[in-house]
Structure 1
């Protein structure tokens, strides 16, 4: 395939947005045999891998060309104004498509044999392997899409996300300090008894936690605990195990899950206890954020009897308490996030 050889490792500058609300950042875009790789120009660290056959151009004929990795909603995008790179992407896509549809009896026989082998492997081993592989290779935009699908199902039991702008602005402001700049924290009106981590760096708080505490420290503690209790791969694998192997295969090939693949998963999450981390890991994690463990501990057990170790090992116990997480005005706005 001449086009693949001609444009292999072609590189150009681009402007990448991981999500519609993310800050645009400069990246290096590189063409591989069947992939489009987006890298950090300072470290050469890969930020995202796109399957070239699935890449969709959102503005044909215009520059800068704007691309998204799948035919679904354009959460992740990159803009490229290098005509050579734009031409290279189109020609490589054309070459791949032409190569894939080339007819031939031998290819048909081989395809049939491969399919038979895959069916046998699928019965014995493939489902778990497919799910694990889908989790490993899913880019951030796909993980966020899975998280949104889980959230949509969860909302049937908790009520819709609280959207009062002043409260969400407070969450968006404090989240990078507690978690990371890519995390998204939202509040649901229904009770959660803590914080719930979803795929795609998404976290949920129940309004019950905001209403029953005198300050933001308990909610902040639950977010840190949720981050420690399960990592991104664990929460994503649990969701895809529920969706099934065929859903994971579709995710890898088409970039989207089947509709209703996660129907009922939200109810399952609400029915089971929240994942809690080992208490021994919490004091050090809270210390990294200048945060007391006592408000978090008291929210779990107001008497303190079952969480005494967290209270006694409070990293802020012999200090002045550190800088406040929020001002009184910010805390009031956060408490009223579900007010309308």
Structure 2
């Protein structure tokens, strides 16, 4: 110990009394290896006190009175003139105290660690687990209600969904052909396509009006199917709006208008997330639909969608018509031409 080496050669004189019924005698005090040695003037050791078990009876007072721990009757007095020795004892006791184990402090640190771990569990794992639980238990009819509420909110911005008696059958056929519950054509609002809870896929009118091949619109629906497989739209809603939404949905089965508005504004302002080509191609293959028309609709040069073109699962294979020409024409006019 550095502090010990500094004080190893210090000596002082003091008055020592082994018990109250014995007269005090003058002694020589020296510091040893973690001990205080009390000797007579013939250098004969009278006693050894452990520095770690040394107590001062009058902190700050003089003469400084020390005694071994648990034995206040045996005392050593050091006058104020022995400042160096008194300071050495004080400093060495502090150094010894720092070096010894502190069970109380360790216990406090252990408790604090447990508390931090529990808080981290509550803040990180519990919301995640709650959201996963809600996604797994919300019934399909409630998902459709949520999707319908979001669609109503979008229609306040985009205008009412396009509809006509002549085209409704074609719209239903397109949904069945692409494997989704419902397809909705909007005059504006969505940039291209969007999937909502309850198996609802929204398409911008341009996807049916600006393309002669119904495989393009079908391709965008297939892309939304792939996104739904990668992440449930209800899970996306809960991720964006927080654990409070999950708790409210679990306990009341309802979402407030503010929650619906916040989600709708956020999701409409962002581009649709991209997916790996392999994930997209797998769903195109499941639906027996070509990926090439969709790829060229996204990039007319084909440079950024080369994987979807070269690995088209329907290339060189007989293809079932997406919609009859008559139905496709009717669908192209669903928004009034």
TM category, shorter: 0.5 to 0.7
CA distance, structure 1, for counterparts of residue 258 and residue 136 of structure 2: 23
**How far 1:263 sits from its partner (Å)?**
1.1
Q: Which residue of 1 aligns with 2:259?
A: 261
Residue 317 (structure 1) aligns with: 315
- Aligned pair count? 220
1:236 maps to which of 219, 234, 237: 234
Q: How does 1:1-340 map to 2 (within 5 A)?
A: 126-180=126-180, 183-190=181-188, 192-231=190-229, 234-320=232-318, 322-339=319-336
Contact 2:179/2:287 (CA < 8 Å) preserved in 1? no
Note if contact 2:219-2:291 (Cα within 8 Å) is conserved in structure 1.
Answer: yes
Shift of residue 224 of structure 1?
1.0
* Structure ID, larger Rg: 2
SS of alignment partner, residue 204 of structure 1: strand
Compared CA separation, residues 232 and 308, structure 1 to 2 (3 A): closer
SS at match of 2:259: coil
After TM superposition, the runs of 4+ consecutive aligned structure 1 residues lying more than 4 A away are 119-126
Correspondence for 1:49 = none
Q: Does the Cα contact within 8 Å between 2:191 and 2:271 map onto a contact in 1? A: no
Q: Which has the higher contact order (CA 8 A, sep 6+)?
A: 1
Question: For each residue in 1:192-211, what CA deviation from the matched residue of structure 2 results, as whole angstroms up to 9, or x when unmatched?
Answer: 44321111111111101112
Preserved contact between residue 135 and residue 233 of structure 1 (Cα < 8 Å): no
Question: TM-score if structure 2 supplies the norm length?
Answer: 0.59
Segments of structure 1 that go 5 or more residues without pairing to the other structure are 1-118
* 8 Å contact from structure 2 (residues 154, 189) kept in 1: no
In structure 2, C-alpha distance between the alignment counterparts of 1:128 and 1:269, rounded to whole Å: 21
If the length of structure 1 is used for normalisation, what is the TM-score?
Answer: 0.58
**Deviation of 1:332 (Å):** 0.9
